[in-house]
Structure formats: C-alpha cells, structure tokens
Structure 1
Amino acid sequence: MDKYTGKRLDGRYEIHELIGSGGMALVYRAYDEIDDRTVAIKILKDEFLGNEEFIRRFKNESKAIAVLSHPNIVKVYDVSFGDRIQYIVEEYIDGITLKEYLDQQKEVKWKEAIHFTIQILRALQHAHEKGIVHRDIKPQNIMLLQDGTIKVTDFGIARFSRSETRTMTDKAIGSVHYIAPEQARGDLTDEKADIYSVGVMLYEMITGQLPFEADSAVSVAIMQLQADPKPPKEINPNIPDGLEEITLKAMQKNPVQRYQSAAEMLRDIEEFRRNPSIRFQYKYFIDEKPTKYIDAINTVKGTEQPVYNDNYEYEEEPVRNPKKKKKSTASLVITGIAAAFLIVAVGFGLAALLHSCSSGPQDVPLPNFVGHNYDDVKNNPAYKNFKFITETKNDSSQKAGTILGQNPKAGTVVKSNSDVTLTINAGGKMVTIPDLTNKTQDEAVSNLQQLNLTYDVLPVEDANVTKGYVQNTDPPAGTQVAEGSKVSVYVSTGSGGEKVAVPAIIDETLDAAKKDIAAAGLTVGKITTKDDTGKPKDTVIETTPLPGVQVAKGSSVSIVVSSGNKSEKSIDIFVHLPKNVTHDINLKAYLGNELQTEKTVNPSYNDVCQLTFTGTSGKKQLTIQLDGNKYQVYTLDFDAGTFKQDESYPYTENSSASESVSGPITPAD
C-alpha cells in the first residue's frame, strides 16, 4: 500500500484508493468528512517537491480552476501548498473520457458531436473570459458523464493570457495531434489555439479519424504546420455542408482566419442547428508560395533526423526581422539557374546564417554543478542556456543521480549555449529488475531488497490478478537500473467488489447484449425501441450508462434497440427571402411535381419563411418559387432526415407568372 491510501489529510480528507497517475501528480479518490462528499485529490509526486518548474505548473492548475465556475468545467474545492505535501481537491467525476467513448463507438452521429462540442465551447468561453487559455484540449482531457454532460479537465499547462506574454521556444506543449500550428511553431498562443484543438476534435468525431496521422510525432507536427486536412465530406458524405465549413474554419492554419472566440464559433453552430442546410460560404486567402516552417522543429546533431519533444520552457518573445529582399526580373533563364544554386546554398547554410546573425552569445561564468542532483540542475531555469552532455560513472559512496564531475570546470568563463559535459553517478553496480508478476507483495518486496533496490507499493484494481499479487512494475521487468533505484510495484486489489464496467454492446443483438450484461455482473434494465435507426430490428443502439462507465456491481443497464421500422420525419426548411423588397410575394413549394404549400409573404415584415415537410423514406426534390419563378431547389433525404440546397436563383419580379404556372418551372438554358 502506498503512503497515502488509508490516511487522512488535514484531519478532513480520508483517502480511499489510487485512481490515476499523471506526469506530475497522483490522483486519489477520497471522502470529505466535513462536506460529506466524494472528492478527487491530486497530490504532487514527492520527486517534484523540490522542482520549481513542476510546482509552478501544479500551482498554475489550481489557480486556473479556482477562478472558474462553470457546469462544464471540473470544480476545485480546496488547495494546499505545504512544504511536505501539495495537493488540489477537485470534483470527483464518475464517467469516462471522451477518448474512451470515441474508441468504443464505431460511429458518432454529427448531432451528438455537436452536442459535445457546444458544451466544450461553453466551458472554454467561460475560461477565456477569465483570461485563461487551456492549451491542451484533447479527448483525453474531456470527461463524459452518464447523462451526456461534458466536463473539461486538466488545466495543468494553462496560463493566464492577459498576465503572461512569454511564448514557448522549441518545445511544443500539448498532444501533437491536437495542437494549433502556432503552438507547434513556438509562437504566442492565445484563445484561438484552443479553438483549433476543438476543430480537430470535431473533425475526429464526425469523420471517425484524425486529420493528420503519421509514424512519428514530428511528422504529425509538420503536417499541422503545412498540410491541409482532407475535407470531412470526402470521408463521411453524410456530413452537412455547414458543419464541414464550421470544422474547417476552426482548423485554419492562420489564426486570423479562424474563429476569433468560442462565442463566435458557438453562434455559427447554433445557426447551423436551426438550419442544417445553411452554407456559410467562408473564403480564405490562399498563398501561392510554398510554406516553410523551421521553428520548433530541430534536428539531431550530426544527422538529418528530426526530433520532437512535448516538454516546454519559456523565453522572451524573439525579435523577428521583417525585411525581405526583392528578386531581379532580368533574364528568366539566368535567374532560374541562379535561383537553383541559391536554394541549395540556403538549404545548407540557413541554420548557420541565422545563428551568426542573431545577437551574439554572452560570456557567463560556469557554475559549480558537482555534488548537485542532475535532475535538479537540468530542470533549473537558471541553467537553460547551457547544453548538457552526460556520461555515467559508478560510485557506491554517492547517491544515484549525483554529479561527480564537470567539463569545463566551475568558474570557467564560457559563451551562453555552450556544451557542458557532466559525469553522473549511476549509483553503484547495475542490476536487472526481476519479473515480479503474480508474486505476492511480500515476495516482491523481498526480491527487491535483495537487489538493493528501493520500492513504492501502489494499489491498482484488476479483476484478472488475484488480490494481493503483483500486477506489474515500473520500470518493467528486464530493465537495467543502478543499485538504490526506486521501483513502483503495482499490487492488485482485485475487482474490489464495488464497480464493474458496462460492456461494449452497441451493435449487438438484444439477446447477445443480455448475456454480456449478465456476464459482467449487471442486470438488464428498461428496454425501449427506436424507429428509423438504419439498424436491423433488435440491434442495440444506445445504453444507459454508456459503455465503459464504471458502475456498482448488480446495477441495471437500460437498453435502446432498433425497431426496424421507418418513422415519418419532419424536415424544416428556412427560406431566406430577397432583400430590399417591400411588396407581397407569392410563394409556392413543390415536392416533386406536387404542390405542397402556397402562401403570400412579405420580406419587409419577415425575411425568413419556415416551411415543414414530412415523409418516411427516400429522396425528393423540393422547388421553391417566388412569383412563379424558380428561386431555390433542395434535395430532401427522408431516410437521414436531412436536406441540402442544390440551386439558388435571383428573385425576379413577375406578378403575373404566379397565375399561369401550375407546376415547377425549368429555367431557360
């Protein structure tokens, strides 16, 4: 058992179990005895208590959430920053991540994607109004509750946009598949970076795939900078045009062409929900020149292999030289040849040229690193201008990680960004971590002690491993480590007898779903049917709670199955009447060749006319006439319950035509 489980913090929070472990904190489920509620507690890991950078990030998260109060953002109840322990008490979320939900669902309908996106945008709108940019929006940081409510979590790398103007350098923050191009470049990031990430998530939900995927993180980062995503309708033709436009506008490379705020994107989405056939007709400036990016993409010294790092550090905003040289317009042939040689020369000399033209490196005295812990030195912002090269040496009299020597020596005056070689103590002889799986906790501890290794025992729920036996270790078995190193030993608490996951039964038959529910130790709850799902009769299309959600053993799972029947659908059409017209207009609507509606409208009173059409199946052409002339043509899809606008014609005044026309007219060629 770890050092916190079963303990009480500040005489108030009774810690029950470890439920997660992130990069800088351990997350526990706990009980607040004063307010009588279950809470989640993030405790900063011991190894980071002396690390100023991690403490800054941890405090950033608490400060960020503390000023936020919104139903779609995880609540913070309490914070504590003591010398021996630092923790944040947050709302306990009983649900799954949006990432887990997307992995489980073979298809997310666009209406459901819009439902999720609206909640995320409302949360970000609130945060942005408070001056906070999340900077790490991704499905892994979005929690989905059983009732469909969204909670945005993990503000660990958030910043206050109005109080902090520093930017990232060559180490981009955030998950590379979702970060904005300016974030990957290391430019200043503001609210529009979060908008880009929301656009990527919306793209993923409506198409079922990410816009950019590659074998390495750096390849994805370069694609974020340079490549255009495949239009969503090419992947999923059922996506309405307006939704595709919203998605691509949110994902524009140039922040100026993106939605400028969450509120602006919400307005378009609300307008799209009211009229799914709407077209926004967004136009963007296209630069004919090839785009080149060099910021935030480095190469390994001596090779041409790119490297990528999700860590980050801050620097002052670099000064950029906006001057450009003009090319001569003399002979095209000579210029082309010269340009070819110039491109080659620039390709080889650009890095050196930029380095030599920048402000010259400063002379600085080299500090004394000997005797200090290497991780402390590496993470100290005061030493960010040195490039550390490490080598190891075994010295059993010193702690592992201690710096035994340095070259150049302390006090030597060197240029900033100089290489400094540090000799790091490996901590004595190297040993191999044994395979401790399926051993009892006592056996595992004994084996580690015999190898002079220290350990932490951490509980983990795992129904497949007997309670009290080792599930795995970190580092894993077979890893070479120095004597004295710490090994995390994860010991199974069994199934716990408390919760089980709702099985993934979507698209199964009702009979198969019942068997899976029973096998999971759950019971079948209310069964309802739904018409016109496109699924065979008795196919499971929904569950409550959602698949993957942890629920108490014996709980009931409600199921919605397809009836196999087609229901009558209503499709609303919003006809935008011509502007600057003040007289009455005769409007006729034909479904196929059959007149459905005829009415008199006047744009000066109401410039939008709503029409409703019903049907059970198939596609039908809808023709709208104004004063006897064709005005708009739509295709209504009663199978999908959607429509699209095919043609639009300018309004022509022709009052007599409405009296002589008995059916749809075809415009003259």
Structure 2
Amino acid sequence: MDNYVGKRLDGRYEIQEIIGVGGMSVVYKAYDNVDDRIVAVKILKEEFLNNDDFKRRFKNESKAIALLSHENIVKVYDVNFGEKLQYIVMEYIDGITLKEFINKQGSITWNDALFFMTQILRAVQHAHDKGIVHRDIKPQNIILLPNGNLKVTDFGIARFSRSDTKTLTEQAIGSVHYISPEQAKGEYTDEKADIYSIGVVLYEMLSGKVPFEADSAVSVALMQVNSNAEELRKINPDIPLGLEQICFHAMQKNPADRYQSATEMLLDIEEIVKDPNKTFNYVNNEVVEEPSQEIEPIIDDEEYEETEDYDDSSRKKKTIAAIVVGVIVLIAAIIGIVMMFTSGMNTKTQKLENFVGFSYDQLQDNESYNYEFVAEYEKSDQYDPGTVIKQNPEAGSKVMEGSKVTLYVASSDKNIPMPNVYGLSLELAEQTLQLDGLTQFKTMNIPSDNVEEGKVIYTDPKATTIVSAEQEITIYISSGPTTTVIETLTVPDVSGLTQSGARAFLEKFGFKNISFVTQDDELQKGIVLSQSPIAGTQAKATDSIKVIISSGVTTTTAQAVKYSVNITLPVVQNDDGSYGKDTLVVKVGSDTYSSRKITLDGSNVPINITAESGKSQNIKVSLKQTGVTETKHIDGKKDKDISVNFSSASKYLVTVTTPVHTENTQTTQ
C-alpha cells in the first residue's frame, strides 16, 4: 500500500495528508494548484490495481457521482484511470462523520435526527432519480459540516438501477450492520435497499446504537434477515410514536412493505416536523416469516400409541429422546442456513494489509478492517507521532478475520498524552492544552443537546492519545441545540398585481423561488392572471411559486380555460364532538395546484382553476389522510363547472385520528 503524502499527481494535485482509509482506497487531502483549492483525492490501493472487480467499483463511483448534482452529495472534480494509478478528485469536506457524531453524543435528539434525515432523504432521492442505488448508506459515509448540513459520500459500490447488467446472483455487499435483508442474502437489490439502510441510520441516531449486534458479521447478517429490533420508545420514551413508526416502516424485511421511495418517507418526516403527535397506519416492527421447510417426522406414529404397559417413565424417556433428536436437527438446519447466507462472504484466511505509514487513530476508527489492533508506542525522529512504523504480523501474512495485529506507533521525544478537556469552556480548554505544551489548535462549532453551549464536546486527537507539541488539535465546541422546525408560510393572493408587484409581495411573505410564465390574454401586459399554489395554501419558503401573467395580446382563440371545482366534504366527528381535520389536495395533471388544511364538517370548498386551452388532462381531488380520491377528466376546450362529492365517505370513517383508507376512486368525463 503506497503512501502518496508529499507527492504531486499529474503535476497538479499536491498530496498533503491522509484523511481516511477504506477497504479499497485511501483518501488524501491535497492542494489543486490549477484551480487553487483544497480537494480530497481518493486513490485505489495499489494491491487492487489488477483486481477487475475493485477497479470496476472504483470507476463506478466516479461515474455515479459525476451524474449527481445536489447540495447534500459530495462533488467530483476530476478522475484518472491509468494503469499504475487510479484516483478520483472530490470536494474536500472539513467535517466529521455522522458516526463520529453519534459516538460522541451517545444518541441524537429526535429533533436533530429529523433535521439530518431530511437532508439524507433528499440526497438519496436525487441519486435514485438518476437511476443510482447507493447500497452502502451508513453514518460513516455521511459527513457532518460545522453548520449542521450533511454530505452523502462514498458511492464505491453504487449500482445503476436501470442498467441492463443487473443480476440476481450478486454477493452480499455493504456494511453488515446497515445492509438490507435482501443484500444479506445476496439477492436482487433496488432503491428500497437504500430505504432499509436509511431506517437503520435513523434507528442509530435515535437510540445511539445499531439495531443488531453480534460477535460476527455472519450473525448480524442473519439477524437482519430474521430478527426484530428493540422498540425505540423502550429505549427512549420521548421519541414520538409516529417517528418510531416511520423508522420501522423503513426497516421492514420485505421490500414491498417498506417505503417505496425516499420522497414517500420524507413526506412522513415532514408530517412529524409539523405535528410531533402525528401517527401512521403502519404495523411497527412486524416480521412476517416465510414458512420454514417442513421436516419429516423422526419418530414413528406407532411409538405414540398408548398401551396398558406404556408407563410415565417410558413416556418421559421417549419425550426426551424426541427433544434431543429435534435439537440436533434444528442445529443442523441453522448450520445449513448460515452456510447458505455466507456462501459469498469471506470467512477464510486473508492477506494482511500494509499499515505502515498510516495514522493509528484512523485505522482504529475504520470499521472496514476486521482485526484487533493493539498499539505499542516507540520514540521516533523519522515518523510523525501517531504514525504506524511497523507491524506484527508483517504485511502479506495470511491471517483470519478478527486476528490480533500489533501496530508499533511513533511517539515524539516528549510523550504528551492528550489532555481530557471534555466539558470545559474553550478558554479553559486552551489553557489546559498550553500547560501541556500543545499550542497548535483550531476550533469547530457543532450542535449538541447534551453539552452546554460554549463547552467542549470532544477533541481530535482523542483524550489520552499520544501527541506531539507540533501536532494540530481540533477542539469541537457545542453551539447549543439545533432547531429543526420547518416553517410553512401562507401563500398570499397576488392576482391583479403587476409582475414586479407580485414578486415584491411574495418576497415580503418570505418566498424565494418565484417564476413567471406569460400567457396570452386581453388584460394589460404583466398583470397576474393566476398562481400556483393558489392563495391560502401552506408552503415552505423554498417551494416553487409559479405566477401566470398576461402578455397583453388579444387573440381570437382562447388561450386558457377556467374550471370551477366545487368540493363537498364529508362529516367526520371525533369522540369529543369536534370535527376532524384533513389536507385537501388538488392536482392538475402531475402538478399540485392546491394543498390546504380543511375541517371535515360537510361544508363546500370552491377551487377555481385556470388551465391551458386545448390540453387534455386530469384534475385529481383527494383527502390526504382519509384516502378518498376522485379524478375528473378535462379536454381543455371550454370553461366548465365540476362537482366533487365526498359526503358519502363519512360512513367509512370513524375518526380522522385512525382513518380507514377507502377505495373510493373513480374517473369521470
């Protein structure tokens, strides 16, 4: 394993330091002297240059990320696939992994978990929209920036879900604590495998631990397939029931029972953000096990025929014999299942990697290595403190997974154990470090609900680690609790205003994403004809607001048609006599025209729609929570009055807090 620190790649990328070590690559911090910026360079390990499978995965990562452009996904700037060197140049992220954050926090408050999960789901949905399945979603592959934003990285085993090269025989791939049951069994995987992994990440954020732990990777894989995770609210009763339901719905064993897209899960997350008491009609943590293969009876029926001389002693002996034989058969069956699930996993001896030249702390934190690392410190003038200078067994030796590997780590002439300054103020922490001769440090602010604002959460290097006086110390300071409330705004009525007036009015209300579309009309040029969403609708500040304005051109052919939709609501009363609430959604074609909160009191709701003339499409009206839907077909030829009557839905609904989803769906002309 070569070490490129101090070298220059292609006369451009000046390698400065190692910032990460993975199973098949090493990530370096580098300076790009052409574009004058700091970048991250991921280099395929030298021992894999002749391995077609690893080379394919490495190239696949660059192809995958190159297709993506999202604020929550790391960017790719450059690639090189030479015979002797293969690397990917990426955006440099100065942050910590979500895994490190969870380890330091113990668990994350559910508010912060929602804030993080929203970003993860948007990033993953963007990848899925491009036909890319990540297949290795885990906290180690999610970087947390100082401002609380996240970046999803490491698409090394991603696959193009719409590719013609999909097979049903791929071996289990990804990190065993986060892989879906279908990955654990080496079966076909699609976008829903990522949904399962996201559910596991959410579980870990909320509980501080992964749902399944065991002594071996094989055991964890079997638990992913067959076991139920402990209920989150037993670990932390403060977690909203609806959030627990979301987590376990994502972690269903059968892909068909999970969320079918990241967006679907995101919509439920947003419901919890708006109303923490919101619940869903999901069965929590349920595993429907397929019937196991029937085992032929071991004892003949004749042995169970009762006779006069069949005494209790004889019966007990035969019962014990039956139990013993049954246990033997059960053990044999379990061994068979384990062998089936592990046929593609590496349980044999493997070639030990070369760790000389790498940081001991980074190797210790890297979960891709299945060894028991033991550190022995030796003074050295040739190596930086914390760097591995030799190892036992030596690189290239054949070892088993979990073997003990002794790493001899360089220390300076003056061994300085890193002081423990956790919980101290920044000023006191700096004074403590300076007293021990450590003067090179920087600070990073990150949110925390467990550590008081302004106090030290942890340090890098960690407390008690051997460091040198010249080594830079990063002090992570709590910025206090993060707020995750996603504010919704009421869309104002801008009809009749000029284009500039409408923009100013919408911006005053807090909306930022405003677009204008010109439509022929006899009204004065620039006057607003209609808007989407319509006035009174709730929307986020970043949501798209589309405004239709007049071109001022009079034509003999109508350019727009208007539909007056009158919606009769059902009457639904709760046990206390109050009327139920719901969300009325109106879609024109595939676009949401209106979405508003309503009261199910039997009243009529009028909606006026302006649509493109001559365009044949559907108007779909639905009550989101109660599930009733009606679709009207429009031909776009003339103005029309449309009636939608949901009053008959009342008999299907007991209360909106436990709605029954009806199949009251129809299309009319």
TM-score (norm 2): 0.55
Structure 1 residue 115: Cα displacement? 1.0
Query: 1:505 aligned to 2:422?
Result: yes
How do 1:332-411 residues align onto structure 2 when only pairs under 5 Å count? none
Change (3 A) 1:289 1:63: closer
Contact 1:2 1:457 in 2 (8 A): no
Candidates 581, 593, 618, aligned match of 2:571: 581
Deviations 1:123-180 (A, max 9, x none): 1001111111111111111111111111111111111111045346484211111111
Contact 2:383 2:389 in 1 (8 A): no
Structure 2 CA distance for aligned equivalents of residues 184 and 140 of structure 1: 19
Query: 1:186 aligned to 2:176?
Result: no
The aligned counterpart of 1:34 is 34
How do 1:96-107 residues align onto structure 2 when only pairs under 5 Å count? 96-107=96-107
Q: Which amino acid aligns with 1:581?
A: V
Structure 2 CA distance for aligned equivalents of residues 214 and 346 of structure 1: 20
How do 1:266-285 residues align onto structure 2 when only pairs under 5 Å count? 266-283=266-283
The aligned counterpart of 2:315 is none
Structure 2 CA distance for aligned equivalents of residues 99 and 528 of structure 1: 14
Task: Flag structure 2 segments of 5+ consecutive residues without an equivalent.
Answer: 306-318, 363-376, 399-404, 463-470, 489-567, 580-598, 606-622, 625-654, 661-669
The aligned counterpart of 2:382 is 468
Structure 1 residue 349: Cα displacement? 9.2
Change (3 A) 1:292 1:224: farther
The aligned counterpart of 1:50 is 50
Change (3 A) 1:65 1:524: closer
Contact 1:39 1:90 in 2 (8 A): yes
Structure 1 residue 88: Cα displacement? 0.7
Structure 1 CA distance for aligned equivalents of residues 447 and 268 of structure 2: 33
Contact 1:104 1:504 in 2 (8 A): no
Structure 1 residue 12: Cα displacement? 1.7
Contact 1:525 1:559 in 2 (8 A): no
Deviations 1:245-271 (A, max 9, x none): 101101111111100010000000001
The aligned counterpart of 2:75 is 75
How do 1:269-668 residues align onto structure 2 when only pairs under 5 Å count? 269-283=269-283, 292=292, 458=357, 460=359, 467-469=381-383, 471-473=387-389, 475-476=391-392, 505-506=422-423, 521=439, 540-542=451-453, 547-548=458-459, 580-581=570-571, 604=603
Change (3 A) 1:343 1:279: same
Q: Which amino acid aligns with 1:72?
A: N
Change (3 A) 1:167 1:235: farther
Change (3 A) 1:175 1:3: closer
Does the residue aligned with 1:458 lie in a helix, a strand or coil?
coil
Structure 1 residue 455: Cα displacement? 8.8
Change (3 A) 1:274 1:501: farther
Structure 1 residue 491: Cα displacement? 8.0
Deviations 1:515-571 (A, max 9, x none): 5576664789999999xx7x8xxxx42459974468995988765579xxxxxx9xx
Query: 1:174 aligned to 2:174?
Result: yes
Change (3 A) 1:66 1:285: closer
Query: 1:247 aligned to 2:247?
Result: yes
Structure 1 CA distance for aligned equivalents of residues 76 and 179 of structure 2: 26
Does the residue aligned with 1:87 lie in a helix, a strand or coil?
strand
Q: Which amino acid aligns with 2:236?
A: N
Structure 2 CA distance for aligned equivalents of residues 529 and 98 of structure 1: 12
The aligned counterpart of 2:13 is 13
C-alpha RMSD over aligned residues = 5.8
Structure 2 CA distance for aligned equivalents of residues 138 and 548 of structure 1: 23
The aligned counterpart of 1:631 is none
Change (3 A) 1:235 1:510: same
Change (3 A) 1:149 1:603: farther
Does the residue aligned with 2:452 lie in a helix, a strand or coil?
strand
Change (3 A) 1:524 1:14: closer
Query: 1:211 aligned to 2:211?
Result: yes
Q: Which amino acid aligns with 1:207?
A: S
Structure 2 CA distance for aligned equivalents of residues 238 and 389 of structure 1: 41
Deviates more, 1:543-552 or 1:237-246: 543-552
Change (3 A) 1:268 1:189: same
Task: Flag structure 1 segments of 5+ consecutive residues without an equivalent.
Answer: 295-323, 356-383, 392-400, 402-432, 434-453, 563-568, 573-577, 589-599, 609-644, 651-669
Structure 1 residue 234: Cα displacement? 0.9
Deviations 1:448-488 (A, max 9, x none): xxxxxx99963649899655247435643578959xxxx99
Q: Which of structures 1 and 2 has the larger relative contact order (alpha carbons within 8 angstroms, sep 6+)?
A: 1
Structure 1 residue 238: Cα displacement? 0.6
TM-score (norm 1): 0.55
Contact 2:148 2:447 in 1 (8 A): no
Does the residue aligned with 1:29 lie in a helix, a strand or coil?
strand
The aligned counterpart of 1:304 is none
Contact 2:127 2:133 in 1 (8 A): yes
Structure 1 residue 216: Cα displacement? 1.6
Deviates more, 1:275-284 or 1:216-225: 275-284
Structure 1 CA distance for aligned equivalents of residues 659 and 28 of structure 2: 63
Q: Which amino acid aligns with 1:476?
A: N
Change (3 A) 1:107 1:25: closer
- Matched residues, percent identical? 46
Contact 1:58 1:156 in 2 (8 A): yes
Structure 1 residue 509: Cα displacement? 7.3
